[in-house]
């Protein structure tokens, strides 16, 4: 049975007492909680271990928190994360330009435990309905990434869409269990996030379709270089998830459903990309079908590899 993923909340406030009280309330309600005491640390904390929701203290005299929220909301990887802004009654009475505060909800100090939990629960429920974020990695889900691909096809904007699949993941789960398998998925998500960020391009998107399947969109000329980075980092890090005996052997022994012993190599990744700049793709279904065909071919090769489909 897969590990149950508890929703994680990141609380951002310079007030230690308030952070401690919020943390205790949220943890008692079953949430995982992380805290930072400065807005400057918020983005770093999000990328280090992405939460499912943020609670950010507002200070009417300081624009730092508002600037960081804007930066997060403009991010093409984690911009979907819901943000709850904590404000004072005076700020609310004076009027807030919500177009300048891209938060998803707000709490007015002082607030009760009931109010806090209700706001967090509402934000998470709304995110599940509208964003379909993956609960394990916090990345946007399949629906979000497909809508982005559909928009680009309709606009005629050239892009490359790549599907990543972890090879031999099921035998790894059978041998080491779902908990360690989830660690591999989180690691893969971090590798993808870092690789996409390294492109320093606003024209990228990343999603976690489910299980060991990820998808990302880049400009056509960047898909090859980013695939190289992803494979390099994955192959460098993944051996650390194996016991020493299996790591030294370069393979694992496991038993299939019929009781037959089998040997499987260490985890690798297969990436299948379709370049819409050279391929005529009239519909997202055609894009998915082309990518599935290329991925099937890529997985027939040993080791991590990628193929970019540029057929006319």
CATH 3.30.1120.130 holds for 8-130: no
Query: Residue 48 belongs to what H/E stretch?
Result: helix 42-48
Global pTM? 0.72
Q: What angle do CA 44, 45, 48 make, to 5 degrees?
A: 85
Contact 80, 133 (CB under 8 A): yes
Tell me the per-residue pLDDT of 34-91, one tens digit each, with 9 for 90 and over: 999 887 788 888 888 888 899 998 765 456 677 888 888 877 778 888 899 898 888 7
CATH 3.40.1190.20 holds for 142-309: no
Q: CA torsion angle for 101, 105, 108, 111 (degrees, to 10)?
A: -150
Write b or e for each residue in 258-294: b if 16 or more Cβ atoms lie within 10 A of its Cβ, otherwise e: eeeeeebebbbbbbbbbbbeebebeebeebbebbeeb
Given this model, what pLDDT does residue 59 score? 63
Given this model, what pLDDT does residue 4 score? 44
Tell me the per-residue pLDDT of 131-145, one tens digit each, with 9 for 90 and over: 677 888 888 888 788
Contact 76, 30 (CB under 8 A): no
Domain boundaries, given as residue ranges, for the chain? 8-130, 142-309
Tell me the per-residue pLDDT of 246-295, one tens digit each, with 9 for 90 and over: 999 999 998 766 778 899 999 999 999 999 988 788 888 888 888 888 88
Q: What average pLDDT score do residues 14-20 get?
A: 88
Q: What average pLDDT score do residues 160-171 get?
A: 94
């Amino acid at each position: 049975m897969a590990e149950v993923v508890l929703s994680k909340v990141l609380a951002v406030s310079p007030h230690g007492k308030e952070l401690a009280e919020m943390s205790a309330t949220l943890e008692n309600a079953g949430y995982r909680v992380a805290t930072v005491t400065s807005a400057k640390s918020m983005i770093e904390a999000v990328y280090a271990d992405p939460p499912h929701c943020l609670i950010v203290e507002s200070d009417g005299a300081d624009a730092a928190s508002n600037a960081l929220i804007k930066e997060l909301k403009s991010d093409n990887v984690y911009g979907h994360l819901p943000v709850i802004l904590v404000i004072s009654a005076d700020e609310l009475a004076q009027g807030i330009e919500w177009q300048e505060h891209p938060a998803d909800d707000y709490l007015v100090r002082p607030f009760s435990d009931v109010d806090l939990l209700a706001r967090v629960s509402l934000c998470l429920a709304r995110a599940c309905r509208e964003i379909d974020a993956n609960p394990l990695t916090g990345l946007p889900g399949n629906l979000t990434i497909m809508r982005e691909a559909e928009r680009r096809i309709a606009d005629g904007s050239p892009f490359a869409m790549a599907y990543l699949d972890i090879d031999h993941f099921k035998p790894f789960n059978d041998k080491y269990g779902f908990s360690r398998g989830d660690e591999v998925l989180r690691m893969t998500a971090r590798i993808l996030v870092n690789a996409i960020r390294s492109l320093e391009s606003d024209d990228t998107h990343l999603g976690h379709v489910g299980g060991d399947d990820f998808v990302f969109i880049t400009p056509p000329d960047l898909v090859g270089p980013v695939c190289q980075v992803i494979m390099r980092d994955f192959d460098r890090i993944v051996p650390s998830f194996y016991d020493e005996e299996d790591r030294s052997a370069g393979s694992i022994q496991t038993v299939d459903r019929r009781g037959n012993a089998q040997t499987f190599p260490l985890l690798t990744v297969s990436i299948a990309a379709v370049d819409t700049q050279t391929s005529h793709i009239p519909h997202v279904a055609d894009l998915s079908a082309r990518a599935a065909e290329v991925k099937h071919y890529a997985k027939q090769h040993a080791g991590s590899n990628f193929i970019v489909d540029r057929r006319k």
